[in-house]
Amino acid sequence: MKWLYLFLKSRSIRALLPTLLLISLWPWASNGQDFKKWEAKTREYKQWLDLHGSEGSRLWLRIDSSRRPHKLYVGEAFHNANYKEKEHFIEIFSNYLAGHPEKFTLIDIFDAKTGKPVGEFGWGGFKLY
């Protein structure tokens, strides 16, 4: 125990302690700013999805979040879009549901008129049936 006391009492270690403390606190300081960026991006996703929802271009009409994976019911505009547009839309929807611009949520995709499955978004990526 005496060696620890002598070690902490030395000038060189006392000079390093504030630096070591700042380095150890760095991850927490940056996470707060990252959270604000993620929150802002999620708000952008919500606005974009509202434009393409049941009141907008009707890419999607409703979502059932009562179970996992989420059930997303898509409209006529989704069926008329090309594959890349569909994939982009589903990725943004998944990021929004996850609440993080770099993470995804599993989604089962259904036709709003028939209720039949038309695709999925999961660990294997975006798939249409």
Beta strands in 42-103 (DSSP E): 60-64, 70-74
pLDDT number for residue 52: 84
pLDDT tens digits along 34-85: 778 888 888 888 888 888 887 767 788 899 988 889 999 999 999 999 999 9
Question: In the chain, what are the domain boundaries?
Answer: 33-128
What single-letter DSSP state applies at residue 67? S
Give the residue carrying structure tokens 């008329």: 80
Q: Show the DSSP H helices in 1-129 as ranges.
A: 2-9, 11-51, 76-80, 83-98
Residue 109: CB atoms within 10 A of its CB come to 24
pLDDT of 83: 96
Q: What's the pLDDT tens digit per position in 1-18? A: 676 666 666 666 566 656
Tens of pLDDT, residue by residue over 111-128, are 999 999 999 998 888 999
The pLDDT of residue 20 is: 59
Average of per-residue pLDDT across 90-97: 92
pLDDT at 89 over 60: yes
Q: Is the pTM of this model over 0.85?
A: no
